[in-house]
Amino acid sequence: MRTTLTYLLLALSTLHAAIAPGHIRRLQDEAAEALVIKADQVDVKITEVKDGRQLDIQVTASVQSVIRSKDGHKPGDVVKVTYKVMELKNPTPGPGEARLLEKGETVRAYLNHSSDKQSLGLAAYGDSFQKP
C-alpha cells in the first residue's frame, strides 16, 4: 500500500497544471479576432535561455474566412501574428505553449490585438490555433 501511494505521489508531482477547458473556451469566445488564416511566411528568431530556448515567431498570414472580427477583417486581408514559444527542458506549470505554425498551414486562430497595434497575439495560449 505504501509503495503504491509513493508511486502515485511521484506521478502526480510530475504533472503540469493545465487551464480548465471551460476557461480556454471562454478565452476563445472572448478573442477579438477569430479567423481562419493561412501562414504565408513564418519567421523565427531563436534565443538560447538558461533551461532551453525561446522562439520569437512572426507569421504573415492571409485571412481565408472570418468567424468574427472586431477590426473588420475580411477574406483576403493580410495579418501579422507575433508570439513566443518557450522550449524548456524543465517546463514550469501553466498553460501549454502554442505550436510553431508551418508555412502554408491553415488554422482557425483566436487572436487579440497586441499593445503595439501592429500585430495580433495569441488569445488562448496553446489553444489559440485549431484545425479548421
CATH number at residue 44: 2.40.50
Say if residue 5's pLDDT is above 90. no
55 falls within a domain: yes
Say if residue 114's pLDDT is above 50. yes
Residue 87, domain extent:
19-130
pLDDT tens-digit series, residues 32-49: 999 999 999 999 999 999
36 falls within a domain: yes
Residue where the block lists cell 495579418: 79
109 falls within a domain: yes
Distances (CA, A) of 32 to 27, 40, 62, 89, 112: 10, 22, 17, 33, 5
Q: How many structural domains is the chain composed of? A: 1
pLDDT tens-digit series, residues 54-88: 999 999 999 999 999 999 999 999 999 999 999 98
Asked if residues 100 and 83 have their Cβ atoms less than 8 Å apart, the reply is no
3 falls within a domain: no
> Which amino acid would we find at residue 98?
A
Alpha-carbon radius of gyration of the chain: 18
Q: What percent of the chain has pLDDT over 70?
A: 86
8 falls within a domain: no
Q: Three-state DSSP class for 68?
A: strand
pLDDT confidence of residue 15: 41
77 falls within a domain: yes
pLDDT confidence of residue 92: 79
Say if residue 11's pLDDT is above 60. no
Say if residue 93's pLDDT is above 70. yes
Distances (CA, A) of 122 to 1, 4, 37, 110: 45, 41, 13, 6
Say if residue 96's pLDDT is above 90. no
